[in-house]
Homo-oligomer: A and B are copies of this chain.
Amino acid sequence: MNRRLFLQTLPFVAFGQDLIVRQRDPENLEFPFTSLDSYVTPNDRFYIRSHFKTPELDLASYKLRVEGAVEKPFEITLDEIKRLAQRKVTATLECAGNTRALLNPPASGVQWELGAVSNAEWSGVPLGALLEKAGLKSNAVEVVLEGADKGEPKNDPKPVGEIAFARSISIEKARRPEVLLAHGMNGSDLALSHGAPLRTVVPGYYGMSSIKWLTKVRVVTERFQGYFQTIDYAYWDRTNGYPLRQPLLDMRVKSLIAQPAKNQQIKAGSTVTLRGAAWTGEADISKVEISSDGGKTWGQARFLDKANRFAWRRWEFDWKAPSQPGRQFLMSRATDSKGAVQALQHDRDTAGYVIHHVIPVEINVL
């Protein structure tokens, strides 16, 4: 709540030194990734992604509704949710549009650089527990998660008027123990900008599935075809040849270099430690490699964190700068336990999303 009030009194500039403001209304603020120095991102540096104006929910009357293809639809208060069996999950959330600002040609949308990604320990109740309480009907196919945030979508083809932000996940995913309805973040109550009083956290999926200000869980019997599932946050899947419009779901394997930062000056011949993080979808990060010769040769980075499904893994690599001055391009490339490797080029079928190719960081050796 404090964050929200604080923001309202701030000019449209960087949010102190904690967050980079990409957009003030709706709130879109970026974790300054080059300052990465902890496994869990502190709450006041965790990136904020909002599609519409932050809704003002009355905590006293707040209820979550579980409805649709269920035997016993019900409403539940936050206190009642807090009395159910609690669970903690550490999960990295990345906005599907992270690093969009680095695309060439440019793509429209919030111009995120490196930091629309953060890692936190979430606490709450598994979504599956509420679905079990409601009793899924046999024809249930997906669970639609709907937030209290409403507004007019931006891009054609779009429905007329305002809609709530809503996405769906499969019944199978919804039942996984790590999919949480979270009210806590890194040991504190969830802040309003992060979705208080209750948000979904869907580990392994891009952030758009982790609906903030959750008010409705609707079980449906057909695949959900809402705007944010078909027009926005979707891509062209060519798995079966003919391109098919499919919703973005799983995060793709990705690594970013935090230090040195772009344009940083490095002394010729010195050894510097490259630092960064790597993450993926429903797999573990198994390898991060570094190249400073455009991808001809790669050296293996060491991990700072153990593999922890759904959380990023920080890494380090000692790099010896050339003895001659000049521009250098540092590249990191991650591999996951399913064998997925970062590509060298962006896939145009995902347009301004899923930007997970190797992104070179240009530095200056002096």
Please report A residues at the B interface, Cβ cutoff 8 Å: 144, 146, 155-157, 159-160, 163-164, 166, 223-227, 230-231, 234, 236, 238, 242-246, 348-349, 351
Contact = CB atoms under 8 A, between A and B. Distances in A.
Contact of A349 (B155, B160, B230): B160
A349 B208 CA distance: 25
A234 B164 contact: no
A159 B349 contact: yes
Nearest to A153: B243
Contacts of A234: 157
Nearest to A222: B223
Contacts of A230: 230, 245
A192 B216 CA distance: 53
A208 to B, nearest CB: 15
12 contacts: A144-B242, A155-B156, A156-B351, A157-B236, A157-B245, A157-B351, A159-B243, A160-B236, A160-B349, A166-B242, A226-B243, A227-B245
Contacts of A236: 157, 159-160
A318 B298 CA distance: 85
A236 B163 CA distance: 12
Contacts of A225: 244-246
A336 to B, nearest CB: 26
Nearest to A144: B242
Contacts of A348: 160
Contacts of A349: 159-160
A166 B238 CA distance: 15
